Amino acid sequence: MWQNRGKALRGSRGAGEQGRFSPLPLCSPAPHPKTMVIIIMGVSGCGKTTVGRALAQQLGVPFFDADDYHPAANVAKMGRGEPLTDADREPWLARLHGMIGEWVGEEMEEITAVFACSALKKTYRDQLRGSLDGVVFVYLAGDFDLIWLRLAARQGHFMKANMLQSQFDTLEPPTAVEALTIPITLSPAEIINQILHQAFA
């Protein structure tokens, strides 16, 4: 099994952790037998970074938060409370696509990297995936009220209520064929458990 493999990939990975995961009910069956890169998606506050970082740490693989790769102009715009346009996102998505491409292509049943990215529209997800095989999206689904409560409890986050509403207005929830859908009412550990079971179902 891939969980028990210890070899490094591209000279920068640690060994995958061993362990058993108790099965949970599947949310949206979408088998991906050659998964290489997991992209945790959803609106701000859904837990992308928390889940993505914990999943990567558990597997001993790199984690990339897409927000860290926005151009300075995008960061400044968000800091002013202004939603990004598709034109603003274009160079950002192109850069992320190139990064994802560095971690796919191996013919093995193993996760090589984890990304966290909002990927709200299908066109954004198509840009991130491009023609790459082995890219799996995991959609963390939750309602506005719950997510706003989470964001309001954070310190130093640039998201404002109008920006969160804009994200919900923009959001095009992925189909079961396009992504695994997992509710954010589960704990991070339960979400990770479901990802590990469903990604190789």
**pLDDT for residue 52:** 98
Integer Cα distance of 128 and 1 in angstroms: 28
For the chain, give every domain's residue range.
28-199
Q: Where are the alpha helices (DSSP H) in 6-135?
A: 48-59, 72-79, 86-101, 122-129
122 against 3, higher pLDDT: 122
**pLDDT for residue 104:** 84
CATH superfamily of domain region 28-199:
P-loop containing nucleotide triphosphate hydrolases (3.40.50.300)
Q: At 10, is the pLDDT very low, low, confident or very high (cuts 50, 70, 90)?
A: very low
Residue 149's contacts (CB-CB under 8 Å, 6 or more residues apart) are none
pLDDT surpassing 90 at residue 93: yes
CB atoms closer than 10 angstroms to residue 82:
15
Best CA proximity match to 128, nearest among 106, 98, 156, 157: 98
Q: At 136, is the pLDDT very low, low, confident or very high (cuts 50, 70, 90)?
A: very high
**pLDDT for residue 3:** 37
pLDDT surpassing 70 at residue 7: no
Looking up tokens 């179902």, which residue turns up?
201
Residue type, 35: T
Mean pLDDT score, 55-64: 96
Best CA proximity match to 78, nearest among 44, 117, 51, 127: 44
pLDDT in tens, 137-161: 999 999 999 998 888 877 655 566 7
83 against 95, higher pLDDT: 95
**pLDDT for residue 190:** 97
Residue type, 166: S
* Residue 195 main-chain phi, psi, to 5 deg: -60, -50
**pLDDT for residue 90:** 95
**pLDDT for residue 152:** 80
Residue type, 29: P
pLDDT surpassing 90 at residue 162: no
